[in-house]
Amino acid sequence: MNVTKDIAYIGVNDHQIDLFEGQYDVPNGMAYNSYVILDEKIAVMDTVDANFTQEWLENLQNALDGRTPDYLVVQHMEPDHSANVVKFVEAYPNAKIVASAKAFVMMKNFFGTDFADRSIVVGEGSTLSLGAHTLTFIAAPMVHWPEVIVTYDAKDKVLFSADAFGKFGALDTDEEWACEARRYYFGIVGKYGVQVQALLKKASALNIEKICPLHGPILSENLGDYIGLYQTWSSYGVESEGILISYTSVYGNTKKAVMELAEKLKANGCPKVVVNDLAREDMAECVEDAFRYGKIVLATTTYNADVFPFMREFIAHLTERNFQNKTVAFIENGSWAPTATKVMKTMLEKSKNLTYCETEVKITSALDEASSAQLDALAKELCR
């Protein structure tokens, strides 16, 4: 597949994988992207996962059409992109490796060598001429590892963006970009919003016509839409107007309250209400929704003088990803000593710019007249 006249795609699709990074469900697989720039000199952009060594080397050989690469650019050292550095060196012993200083330290850790005899260390503003194409390297530390660089090709106006603008899903599946890109972003990159903002600022000075990430499709149309979503996500803004209710329920009484609240919200004019059962739905999907919407209701039971485990896990996922800039409401249930709201607030103490609803719903075992009235009040407050 040609990206441009001089740039070929040589990546692979992975439909063998069940959990990406050992935790993210990927029903449509994953793409590990790699590219080759064919000029007077030839640069290969990253490798792929170790399970696809032979397929990748064959893709590269076919693209080279008898020629030999001069450089391997290693933008990111995560093994799904760097696993075949040694195999590349064995196949092309005269090629140089281009990477950041920190990447070469990681190569020593991963491979037992930093390739000192063939290394070219690059950093912010470094350039590499291939002939008609000149590559400019841009430091992107903590997007989402410290060694990351991205690369701009001025001739074809292509940004090789490493893991930025990536998504779950193989390239031979047809699915909406935003949903799986959002889940990928908040699961993997979401903690590093400040660093993503810094990269976006640098990218805004470039004339970009295509974005080539290490996962997901090549982006070439309506780039402002993709960049706009990244601006919103990395600044922890509100992407979609709506109310998310995330809950756990042991015997169904908390669930009953949640469903009643959802109906009351709609009756009060809130058209978009999303309900997530944290025990049964994909946790990464639930986390994605929490960052997407501006208002969130946390509903759970008191459990071992704490909160139900899935709610604890959910809030931990949010706080470690810098959850902020939201309106939050609480529903707690407890048969003898309800403390869930107190525990949840304590867990959220380090989150910035959270506005708590005045109405707090307290259920003692099951809904009664008082707690139903609290649901009424909460619905009105959230829909104001």
pLDDT digits (tens, 9 = 90+) for 166-200: 999 999 998 999 999 999 999 999 999 999 999 99
Q: What is the pLDDT of residue 305?
A: 86
Measured CA to CA, the distance from residue 286 to residue 213 in angstroms comes to: 25
Bridge partners of residue 324, in order along the sequence: 352
Q: Are residues 275 and 227 in the same domain?
A: no
Residue written as tokens 């890109």? 181
Q: Are residues 266 and 150 in the same domain?
A: no
Domain boundary among 199, 234, 269: 234
Measured CA to CA, the distance from residue 305 to residue 173 in angstroms comes to: 46
Backbone angles phi, psi at 55, to 5 degrees: -60, -40
Measured CA to CA, the distance from residue 54 to residue 45 in angstroms comes to: 17
Q: Are residues 256 and 206 in the same domain?
A: no
Q: Are residues 267 and 186 in the same domain?
A: no
CATH of the domain at 336: 3.40.50.360
Coil/strand/helix, residue 145: coil
Q: Are residues 298 and 222 in the same domain?
A: no
pTM of the model: 0.93
* Helical residues (DSSP H) of 213-357, grouped into ranges: 223-234, 253-267, 283-292, 309-320, 340-347
Residues in Cβ contact with 143 at an 8 Å cutoff, skipping those fewer than 6 apart:
162, 163, 164, 189, 192, 195, 196, 199
For residue 38, count other CB atoms closer than 10 A to its CB.
21
Looking at the domain assignment, is residue 187 inside a domain? yes
Looking at the domain assignment, is residue 67 inside a domain? yes
The distance of Cα 163 from the centroid of its chain, to the nearest Å, equals 8
Looking at the domain assignment, is residue 252 inside a domain? yes
Q: Are residues 126 and 58 in the same domain?
A: yes
Measured CA to CA, the distance from residue 75 to residue 139 in angstroms comes to: 9
Looking at the domain assignment, is residue 298 inside a domain? yes
Looking at the domain assignment, is residue 1 inside a domain? no
Domain count, the chain: 2
Q: Are residues 142 and 216 in the same domain?
A: yes
Q: Are residues 55 and 142 in the same domain?
A: yes
Q: Are residues 140 and 16 in the same domain?
A: yes
Measured CA to CA, the distance from residue 258 to residue 375 in angstroms comes to: 9
Q: What is the pLDDT of residue 282?
A: 95
Q: Are residues 362 and 322 in the same domain?
A: yes
240-279 pLDDT per residue, tens: 999 999 999 999 999 999 999 999 999 999 989 999 999 9
**Looking at residue 5, what DSSP letter applies?**
S
Closest CA to 132 of 40, 36, 35, 4: 40
Q: Is the dihedral of CA 350, 288, 80, 98 positive or negative?
A: negative
Q: Which amino acid is at 30?
A: M
Looking at the domain assignment, is residue 143 inside a domain? yes
Q: Are residues 132 and 216 in the same domain?
A: yes
Quote the domain boundaries for residue 353: 240-383
Q: Are residues 46 and 65 in the same domain?
A: yes
Q: What is the pLDDT of residue 154?
A: 95
Looking at the domain assignment, is residue 261 inside a domain? yes
Backbone angles phi, psi at 95, to 5 degrees: -75, 150
Q: What is the pLDDT of residue 337?
A: 83
* Helical residues (DSSP H) of the chain, grouped into ranges: 53-64, 79-82, 85-91, 101-111, 177-184, 193-203, 223-234, 253-267, 283-292, 309-320, 340-347, 369-383
Q: Residue ranges of the chain with pLDDT lower than 50?
A: none
Domain boundary among 234, 258, 287: 234
Residue 264, burial from CB neighbour count under 10 angstroms (0-12, 13-18, 19+): buried
CATH of the domain at 12: 3.60.15.10
Looking at the domain assignment, is residue 199 inside a domain? yes
Domain boundary among 234, 260, 292: 234
For residue 374, count other CB atoms closer than 10 A to its CB.
19
Measured CA to CA, the distance from residue 347 to residue 341 in angstroms comes to: 10
Q: How many CA atoms lie within 13 A of 54 on its CB side?
A: 0
